Amino acid sequence: MDLRITEIFYSLQGEARSVGRPTVFVRLTGCPQRCSWCDTPYSFQGGEKQSLDSILATVASYGARHVCITGGEPLAQPNVHPLMRQLCDLGYEVSIETGGSLDIGEVDPRVTVVMDLKAPDSGEVHNNRLENLALLKPTDQIKCVLASRRDYDWARLQLDQHRLVERVADVLFSPVWDQLPPAQLAEWILADRLPVRFQLQLHKVLWDDARGR
Ligand code: SF4
């Protein structure tokens, strides 16, 4: 049983609730989406086929408790499910970062889902799979990456229309690096008293988005 892998590396979790925790990242190759601001286009193609056993051995070599399955779009490879099941069985705390266009129904319930809702400036808003919202657990998270005031207004509307805050542990609003000044987004959130969590991507602050960090 194989998966196509772009990279496996050890770093600090850069976002979401577990931000700052030492984590092993397993980046799967391939994505059906093309977000205008995507910061991992190198994961669209290439990669290397690896067996589940080999992936598990690499993960174990770092001695970390947290494992983040990311991409690309990790749900595009069906074998991601046995990988996540085995990681959970081995006692890891596992999260998956998904772009939100594919079905999350098969994800092991022990896994924390961090699901994007793509805003208009991403160019992928039409691919949001809204059926996924009903499948999210109270421990999951929804992430909105915002590039403009238009994106922010759209995200605010989604909060109301889909009662996002009631569904998950956190709704994360994050500015697109180099497009929306972080302080501007922070001001909007405070002015509107939004019950969301503002976040900056820690790995970009620390390492300027260097690959494998
Ligand atoms: S879903 Fe993620 S990996 Fe795919 S294009 Fe968008 S940002 Fe990039």
Q: Convert the pLDDT of each residue in 151-168 to its tens digit.
A: 999 999 999 999 999 999
pLDDT at 204: 76
Domains and CATH numbers, the chain: 2-207 (3.20.20.70)
Does 31 contact ligand 1 (Cβ within 6 A)?
yes
Q: What is the mean pLDDT of residues 117-141?
A: 98
Which parts of the chain are beta strand (E)? 2-12, 22-28, 48-51, 66-70, 93-98, 112-116, 141-146, 170-175, 197-198
To the nearest whole number, what is the mean pLDDT of the chain?
Answer: 95
Place of tokens 């809702």: 117
CA distances from 166 to 6, 12, 83, 153 (A): 35, 28, 30, 19
pLDDT at 188: 98
Q: Convert the pLDDT of each residue in 67-110 to its tens digit.
A: 999 999 999 999 999 999 999 999 999 999 999 999 999 999 99
pLDDT at 203: 78
pLDDT at 52: 98
DSSP state of 117: -
Q: Which two tokens stand for residue 103?
A: 């079905």
pLDDT at 211: 74
pLDDT at 28: 98
For ligand 1, the distance from its centroid to the CA atom of residue 31, given in whole angstroms, is: 6
For ligand 1, the distance from its centroid to the CA atom of residue 118, given in whole angstroms, is: 10
pLDDT of residue 212 exceeding 80, the answer is no
Which parts of 14-118 are beta strand (E)? 22-28, 48-51, 66-70, 93-98, 112-116
Q: What is the mean pLDDT of residues 188-205?
A: 92
Residues 6+ apart with CB under 8 A from 207: 213
For ligand 1, the distance from its centroid to the CA atom of residue 29, given in whole angstroms, is: 11
pLDDT of residue 179 exceeding 90, the answer is yes
pLDDT at 207: 79
Do 58 and 25 contact (CB within 8 A), yes or no?
no
**Region for 167 from its dihedrals, namely left if φ exceeds 0, alpha if ψ lies in -120 to 50, beta otherwise:** alpha
pLDDT at 175: 96
Probe target for ligand 1 pocket from 26, 34, 40, with the most ligand atoms within 8 Å of CB: 40
Q: What is the mean pLDDT of residues 28-53?
A: 97
Percent share of the chain, pLDDT over 90: 88
